[in-house]
């Protein structure tokens, strides 16, 4: 027999993307949930049990009677827990863009009641929750933070496309502005997080911990990317170099590649913002960002050494990582743009990216390869690419041809001598 939802708790999840939707569906197993998103098309899809992000593939997960998907915020007027999971990107100057978060806070302020808790899961820099968002809600609602409502911060840790680590088996860091609030959100998250929760002493601690998680990964990838650059200059195989180094027990096994998306390529700038506001000029984290942002240019410069303006180029992969549809902050798009701006004939194929989105965001018309190319660049390790036969791979190349295997996924394929190959 299914347990009845806790009648004392009614939750509104604001933002139903990669983070918000899985969270809302898990919470609906124990509580009444309003899943809100301003995107009406998205709401229609969810009400028809379709998740375009492919994070939720089992339609039965949408059958809970405890959840209501809506684009009308008034439907959540009776909610007393508000969880914000909206995107927090950076602008063209790589400064944190909090507009989505501020808009969500203003919306909540219209319906928030006394005794409510606002939980932020979006990435922010330390201080945002208490110094920016709480005052917005106070001003718009007329309520006082700490007296009439409370704030909490629990950073999302979802890794899109990851089949192993899902929301329920990733430990949850939680923080709040009072012990009572911390205990209450701990009760809520413990219901759905099998891995448990990790309480910290204050909201700024949790905000900082989130910022450094992805900054650390960004720096580690930047290191091996620079190793790849150095190896190319030394005319040695970087994959072999890294494989040899990895035989030592304490070597960190990171792989080179393009670093885009909405987390690793963004969060270091949030940490840098916090550092500067505190009077510290960050160096290492921004050096890592500089290296990773330069990778498309490095690959382009290596490729054109063996090409001319009549050469046909194919880029395999547009999404920011393997096996997802998300093309936000795509470094493959940046690479394509470098070829286009230099007058090269370049095409892009990605079996997962949406054609309309690619065209609207980057002006890229995705194609299905039907010709032979002088240069093929594999930028994303999609399963579809991993499964391609040697015969299919060879059919993509003109004679002579160049394979630039950024992710080194075709190293075991037998390719004819007229196809030269290098990988990062």
Which residues participate in catalysis according to the annotation?
263
CA–CA gap between residue 383 and residue 414 (Å, rounded): 19
Rounded CA separation 31/2 (Å)? 12
The H or E element that residue 234 is part of is helix 203-234
Helix, strand, or coil here: 88?
coil
Cα-Cα-Cα-Cα torsion 285, 291, 293, 299, nearest 10 degrees, comes to -160
SS3 category, 158: coil
Report how far apart, in Å, the C-alpha atoms of 101 and of each of 15, 21, 80 are. 10, 17, 19
Considering Cα of 366, then 330, then 18, then 113, what sign does the dihedral take?
negative
**How far is 37 from 23, CA to CA, in rounded Å?**
14
* Angle at the Cα of 66 from the Cα atoms of 168 and 176, rounded to 5 degrees: 50
- Rounded CA separation 75/35 (Å): 10
């Amino acid at each position: 027999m299914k347990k009845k939802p806790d009648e004392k708790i009614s939750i509104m999840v604001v933002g139903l993307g990669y983070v918000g939707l899985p969270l809302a569906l898990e919470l609906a197993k124990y509580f009444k949930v309003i899943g809100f998103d301003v995107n009406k098309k998205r709401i229609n899809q969810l009400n028809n049990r379709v998740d375009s992000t492919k994070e939720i593939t089992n339609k039965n997960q949408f059958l809970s009677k405890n959840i209501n998907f809506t684009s009308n915020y008034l439907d959540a007027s009776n909610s007393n827990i508000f969880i914000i999971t909206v995107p927090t990107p950076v602008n063209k100057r790589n400064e944190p863009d909090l507009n989505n978060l501020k808009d969500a806070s203003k919306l909540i302020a219209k319906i928030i009641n006394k005794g409510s808790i606002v939980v932020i899961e979006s990435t922010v820099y330390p201080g945002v929750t208490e110094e920016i968002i709480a005052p917005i809600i106070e001003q718009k609602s007329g309520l006082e933070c700490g007296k009439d409502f409370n704030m909490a911060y629990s950073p999302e840790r979802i890794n899109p496309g990851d089949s192993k680590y899902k929301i329920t088996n990733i430990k949850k860091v939680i923080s709040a502005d009072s012990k009572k609030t911390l205990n209450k959100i701990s009760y809520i998250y413990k219901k759905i997080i099998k891995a448990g929760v990790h309480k910290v002493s204050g909201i700024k601690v949790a905000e900082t911990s989130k910022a450094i998680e992805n900054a650390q990964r960004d720096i580690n990838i930047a290191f091996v990317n620079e190793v790849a650059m150095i190896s190319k200059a030394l005319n040695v195989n970087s994959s072999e170099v890294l494989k040899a180094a990895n035989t030592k027990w304490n070597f960190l096994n990171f792989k080179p590649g393009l670093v885009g998306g909405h987390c690793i390529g963004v969060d270091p700038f949030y940490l840098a913002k916090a550092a500067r506001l505190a009077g510290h000029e960050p160096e290492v984290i921004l050096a890592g960002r500089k290296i990773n942002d330069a990778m498309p240019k490095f690959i382009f410069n290596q490729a054109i050494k063996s090409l001319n303006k009549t050469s046909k180029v194919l880029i395999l992969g547009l999404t920011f990582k393997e096996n997802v549809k998300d093309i936000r902050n795509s470094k493959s798009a940046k690479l394509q743009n470098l070829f286009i701006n230099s007058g090269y004939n370049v095409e892009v194929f990605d079996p997962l990216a949406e054609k309309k989105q690619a065209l609207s965001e980057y002006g890229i018309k995705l194609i299905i390869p039907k010709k032979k190319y002088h240069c093929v660049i594999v930028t994303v390790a999609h399963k579809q690419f991993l499964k391609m036969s040697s015969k299919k791979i060879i059919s993509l190349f003109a004679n002579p041809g160049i394979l630039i295997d950024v992710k080194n996924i075709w190293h075991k394929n037998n390719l004819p001598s007229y196809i030269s190959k290098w990988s990062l």
